[in-house]
Amino acid sequence: MTPLYAIVGCAILLGRAVSAQGGPWSQCGGQGWSGATSCVSGYTCVYSNQWYSQCLPGTSTQVTPTPTQTSNPGGGGKTKYGMCTSLPASDWIKVVMEAAGVNMAGFDFGMATTGTQDASQILTPPNEQMAHFVNDDKMNIFRLPVGWQFLVDSPGAQLNTGDFARYDSLVQACLSTGAACILDVGDSSSPISSAQSANGMLTDARWNGAIVGQGGPSNDQLANIWSQLASKYASRSQIIFGVMNEPHDVPSITTWAATVQACVNAIRTAGATSQIILLPGNDWTGAATFVSDGSFAALSNVKNIDGSTTNLIFDVHKYLDSDGSGTHTDCVTANVDVFNNLASTLRGAGRQAMVTETGGGNTQSCITYVCQEVATLNSNSDVYLGYVAWAAGAWQPSWNYALDLVPTQNGNGWTDTSLVNACFKRT
C-alpha cells in the first residue's frame, strides 16, 4: 500500500495517484502537487493560491504556476503532525495539505440524555472499511466517535478496561492504515431507531443532563478522561484529540472555554505535546455561528501550557440540508458564504479550523452542493486543514439512515455510495 502521507523535511505531502486529467472539483496544481495538472472536458484548472489549484466548471484557459516541491521549508526543526516547530504559524499552515475522510460511527450509539447506556444500540465499526477508504479512495483521516459513558462508568473514573479495549481496537486499525485518527469523545445521544433520522452523534457537553463545568461534572472530571487517553496515545503523531462533540445551549461560552482549557492542559501534561487538539464551540460547534455566538473569541484564549496556540485547531460542523441538521437526504446549499466568511476571520487571526462533520444524502442535490462545498474548503486550504464526512461505520439497515456512507463489500472489492464517489473519493 502506498502511504497516504510521507514526511519530507517538515512538509506533509499527501500521496495521490497520478492521472492524465483531473476529475470535476479535484486538485490540479499547487506547491508539492505531483498529480494531473489538466482537467476533464468541461472543467478548467483554476489557480487559487500557490498551494492549491482546482478543476472547476468552465472551458477558458487558465495558467497555473508550475508546482514545485517543498522540502524542509523551515530549514530543519522537529517534525510535528503537519508542521515544523521551526516555522511560524503563518508559514507552517502552508505545508499542511488538506485532509479528507469519513466518520466511523458505532461506538457513539446508545447513550441517552439521562446518562444511561443502552448497550444493545452500540455497534462496532468494521475495520475493513478504513482500509478500503485509504487504499481505494485515497482518504487520509478518520474520526472515531465514542461515548464518554461508554469509556467510563462515572465522571472522573478510570477507563472501563473491557470497553476501552473494544474502542482501542478501532483506533489501532485506524493507525495501521497510516491515516490520521481523531479520538472524539462525546456525551449523550438518543438511540437510533427506524423512526429517527437524527445522526445519533454524542452531543451536549453534558452528563446526566448537566453541563460540564456549569452545574454538572467538574472540568477536572472531563479532563481526567483526556489525561488517560492522551497517556495511552502520546507517542502516536497520527492521533488528533477532539475534546467534545457538538456542545450546545451552553449558558457561558467563556466558562466553556475554561473547560476546554482544562482538557488541553490534561492532554499536554500527559505527554501528548505536539498532536492536534480540536476546540469545539457552542451551538453544535456550527461553522455559521462560530464567530457570532462568541465561540471564536472565547476559544482563541485557549493556550498550550507554553502559552502558544500551536496545533490548537477550531472544530466546526456544517450540514447542507434545509435546517442544517443533517437529517434530510436532500441538500439546499453549498455553504459557500459560511465557509468563506469564517475563512476570512481565521485568516485574519492566523488560526485554522477542521470541518469534522459535514455531508448529505446520496441524492443528486447533495452531490451538486457537497462537491461545491468541498471545492470551497479546498480553495481555503490555508485555513481549513480538511474535512471529515458523516458517516460510514456501522448502521443497522432498519434505521434507514439519511446520511449513510457505508460502502458495500462485494467479494474482495467495495462499492462506495454515490456521494462518496462524487465528492469525497480522491484520485
pLDDT at position 116: 57
Residue 246: active-site member: yes
Q: What does pLDDT average to over the chain? A: 81
pLDDT in tens, 62-94: 444 433 333 332 223 333 323 333 333 333 233
Q: Tell me if 14 is assigned to some domain.
A: no
| Ranges 91-95, 148-152, 278-282: which has the least confidence | 91-95
Q: Tell me if 9 is assigned to some domain.
A: no
Residue 94 CA from chain centroid, whole number = 18
| Ranges 37-46, 301-310, 347-356: which has the least confidence | 37-46
Asked if residue 30 lies in contact with residue 46, where contact means CB atoms within 8 angstroms, the answer is: no
Domain co-membership, 291 together with 387: yes
Query: CA-to-CA distance for 121 and 105, rounded, in angstroms?
Result: 12
Burial 378-394 (b: 16+ CB within 10 A, else e): bbbbbbbbbbbbbbbbb
Residue 357: active-site member: yes
pLDDT at position 83: 32
Look at residue 17 and tell me whether its pLDDT is greater than 70.
no
| CATH number assigned to the domain comprising residue 104 | 3.20.20.80
Domain co-membership, 45 together with 176: no
Query: CA-to-CA distance for 110 and 147, rounded, in angstroms?
Result: 9
pLDDT at position 112: 58
Domain co-membership, 133 together with 34: no
Domain co-membership, 121 together with 247: yes
Partners of 229 in beta bridges: none
Partners of 104 in beta bridges: 392
| Ranges 24-28, 160-164, 294-298: which has the least confidence | 24-28
Q: What is the mean pLDDT of residues 270-297?
A: 97
Query: CA-to-CA distance for 276 and 99, rounded, in angstroms?
Result: 13
Q: Tell me if 160 is assigned to some domain.
A: yes
Q: What is the mean pLDDT of residues 250-263?
A: 97
> How many domains, the chain?
2
pLDDT in tens, 211-220: 999 999 999 9
Question: Cα Rg for the chain, rounded, in angstroms?
Answer: 20
Q: How is residue 14 written as a grid cell?
A: 499527501
Q: Tell me if 344 is assigned to some domain.
A: yes
Domain co-membership, 182 together with 103: yes
* Nearest alpha-carbon partner for 43 in 19, 61, 30: 61
Domain co-membership, 347 together with 401: yes
Q: Tell me if 74 is assigned to some domain.
A: no
Domain co-membership, 293 together with 383: yes
Domain co-membership, 96 together with 198: yes
Domain co-membership, 211 together with 346: yes
Query: CA-to-CA distance for 277 and 310, rounded, in angstroms?
Result: 9
Per DSSP, the three-state class of 158 is coil
Q: Tell me if 139 is assigned to some domain.
A: yes
Query: CA-to-CA distance for 87 and 411, rounded, in angstroms?
Result: 47
Domain co-membership, 51 together with 172: no
Asked if residue 305 lies in contact with residue 269, where contact means CB atoms within 8 angstroms, the answer is: yes
Instruction: List the domain range (segments joined by +) for residue 49.
Output: 26-57
Stronger pLDDT, 38 or 304, i.e. the higher one: 304
Domain co-membership, 40 together with 150: no
Q: Tell me if 101 is assigned to some domain.
A: yes
First CA to last CA distance, the chain:
15
Q: Which of 57, 73, 105 is the last residue of a domain?
A: 57
* Nearest alpha-carbon partner for 335 in 294, 393, 387: 387
Domain co-membership, 46 together with 121: no
Burial of 300 (0-12, 13-18, 19+ CB in 10 A): middle
CB count within 10 Å of CB 34 equals: 12
Angle at 137 between CA 48 and CA 323, to 5 degrees: 70
Beta 408-410 vs 413-415: how paired, if at all? antiparallel
Q: Which residue has the cell 456544517?
A: 318
Q: What is the mean pLDDT of residues 403-427?
A: 93
Asked if residue 78 lies in contact with residue 311, where contact means CB atoms within 8 angstroms, the answer is: no
Question: Which amino acid does the sequence have at 183?
Answer: L
Query: CA-to-CA distance for 151 and 138, rounded, in angstroms?
Result: 31
Look at residue 427 and tell me whether its pLDDT is greater than 70.
yes
Asked if residue 26 lies in contact with residue 46, where contact means CB atoms within 8 angstroms, the answer is: no
Q: Tell me if 1 is assigned to some domain.
A: no
Asked if residue 78 lies in contact with residue 92, where contact means CB atoms within 8 angstroms, the answer is: no
CB count within 10 Å of CB 58 equals: 13
